[in-house]
Structure 1
Amino acid sequence: MPPSNRINLSDKIRAALEAEITSGQLTAGSRIDEQALMDRFEVSRTPAREALLQLMSSGLVTSVPRQGAVVASLSLSEYIAMLEILMELEGLAARLSARRMPAVQRKLLEQADKACREAAANDDAEVYGKANRAFHEIIYDGSLNEVLARQLRGMRLRMRHPQRALFDRPGRIRNSLAEHQSVLQAILTGDEETAYRAMTGHISSGGNVYADAIASMPHGVPVAAPVATPEIAADALAVTRRAAGRRKSSTGA
């Protein structure tokens, strides 16, 4: 098989598995059998193995002794650490987008905001989640920094499971939409500092909702390795409160 064909096949397999993982069809700990992939996609061992290696490099799949490839879990302590990084990277993307976003993408951002507002009006958490992802993706691209955009997408993939539950929490869609408006207006008017503060506040708010959720779960969440102890939940809450404190200090509030 020519190398180009093999690469195309491995990309096809990777994309299919990635979609199944991010949608929850394949849950954390699920074993991915190489032979089953070969049979399912009617390919040889090489593209199936290359697809798994790509997923391992992105952190979505890990290799477990005597089990092989399995869908990776994300511990609560890892989620907390990633949340701190995510807030800063999202804020940077918003700041750069306020400075650099081309006119075409500004229009796309307004369209994504409209889709969010329509989903919010219908109280549709699933549709809002998709529109919300589009809103953030446009900001990543609008930063005109491919390395930053790639890092953000990779982190969002790793943090996929907790994110899906955020918009089921009471009032979260309404609050998220209001936060989007602040981000949107700052980007459209080229206000870099406000865009940064609004976006870090938006991500912090989402992390706060997640902390509240895990604090109420006595046995943790299915995708996490350790139990969601009160200490871990408190750490998650502290992350968002520290971020809020930094924003108040920077504004003199």
Structure 2
Amino acid sequence: MASARINLGDQIRQTLEEEILSGKLDAGSRIDEQVLMDRFGVSRTPAREAIKHLTAAGLVTPLSRQGAVVASLSVPEYIAMLEILMQLEGLAARLAARRMPTAQRQQLEEAHAACGRAAAKNDAEEYGQANRVFHEIIYDGSLNEVLARQLRAMRLRMRHPRRALFDRPNRIRHSLAEHAVILQAIVSGDENAAFQAMTDHISSGGNVYADAIASMPLRAVPADEPADAALQRRRSRSANV
């Protein structure tokens, strides 16, 4: 019986994670225990279990009463995570260039082609989905489950401004060109080129991400570090990566 409750809790958690990632549940959205119970036809225990796991992942903030709200990030938190993400994504690309099996390299080429089709239509939503597949194939191709798990968790937490990136002028075109360089480096087995291409792709000079951060729902920035100062300080740093 306990196993059934845990499985139900996992199912609810996975559904909510996908809704958070897709933007159906945006920052500040309320997640109510009773609503989850009614929606999924479960008792209170699986609903609470799902919220507990989402809280541990940093995706929701529990309320004093029942339920939680979808968490947001402050500007300094987001940019600090971006600095880590650049290095982890670069490491995944490096390992993928060394280890990715032939079948997965073919999948990566197919994912890049899907990105190209979305880019041709200038479809930001479709491109975002294809982009996600492209990166996840690289995570899996690193053959490092711990690294892949960390990257997926960070992508979930950093979802809001990243969704908006592909609505920005020329970002899809630039992203596709950057993917082509990453793909070539991985397929050719050039570890150093793969790392550099991926970190360049994630940072993109720092400017696109900084602009996206400015438009996301954010918690108040600590008074001793105004948002503009945090952005400027880290933008300069990321531009030199």
Question: Hey, what does 1:176 align to over in structure 2?
Answer: 175
Q: RMSD of the TM alignment (CA)?
A: 1.6
Question: Hey, what does 2:102 align to over in structure 1?
Answer: 103
Question: Hey, what does 1:238 align to over in structure 2?
Answer: 236
Residues 67 and 229 (structure 1), Cα distance of their counterparts in 2 relative to 1, 3 Å cut:
farther
What do residues 100-119 of structure 1 show as CA deviations (whole Å, max 9, x unaligned)?
00111001000000001111
Provide TM-score, normalisation by structure 1: 0.89
What do residues 152-171 of structure 1 show as CA deviations (whole Å, max 9, x unaligned)?
00000000001000011111
Question: Hey, what does 1:48 align to over in structure 2?
Answer: 47
What do residues 210-248 of structure 1 show as CA deviations (whole Å, max 9, x unaligned)?
21344xx5xx532x11268322331342232131xxxxx
**Alpha carbons 1:123, 1:173 under 8 Å: kept:** yes
Identity of aligned residues (%): 68
What do residues 187-227 of structure 1 show as CA deviations (whole Å, max 9, x unaligned)?
0000000000000000011742021344xx5xx532x1126
Q: Which amino acid aligns with 1:230?
A: D
Residues 72 and 54 (structure 1), Cα distance of their counterparts in 2 relative to 1, 3 Å cut:
same
**Alpha carbons 1:80, 1:239 under 8 Å: kept:** no
How far does residue 184 in structure 1 lie from its aligned partner after superposition? 0.3
What do residues 122-180 of structure 1 show as CA deviations (whole Å, max 9, x unaligned)?
11111111111000000000000000000000000000001000011111111111111
Unaligned runs of 5+ in 2: none
**Alpha carbons 1:35, 1:45 under 8 Å: kept:** yes
Which residue of the other structure, out of 203, 221, 226, is the alignment partner of 2:216?
221
**Alpha carbons 1:80, 1:235 under 8 Å: kept:** no
Secondary structure of 1:15 counterpart: helix
Q: Which runs of 4+ in 1 moved over 3 A?
A: 64-68
How far does residue 15 in structure 1 lie from its aligned partner after superposition? 1.4
**Alpha carbons 1:98, 1:190 under 8 Å: kept:** yes
Secondary structure of 1:70 counterpart: strand
**Alpha carbons 1:83, 1:207 under 8 Å: kept:** no
Question: Hey, what does 1:193 align to over in structure 2?
Answer: 192
Unaligned runs of 5+ in 1: 244-253
Aligned counterparts of 1:62 and 1:242: Cα–Cα separation in 2: 34
What do residues 31-85 of structure 1 show as CA deviations (whole Å, max 9, x unaligned)?
2111221122111111111111111111111223357411111111100000000
Secondary structure of 2:86 counterpart: helix
Aligned counterparts of 2:212 and 2:11: Cα–Cα separation in 1: 35
Question: Hey, what does 2:23 align to over in structure 1?
Answer: 24
Question: Hey, what does 1:249 align to over in structure 2?
Answer: none
Provide TM-score, normalisation by structure 2: 0.93
Aligned counterparts of 1:78 and 1:63: Cα–Cα separation in 2: 19
Residues 127 and 236 (structure 1), Cα distance of their counterparts in 2 relative to 1, 3 Å cut:
farther
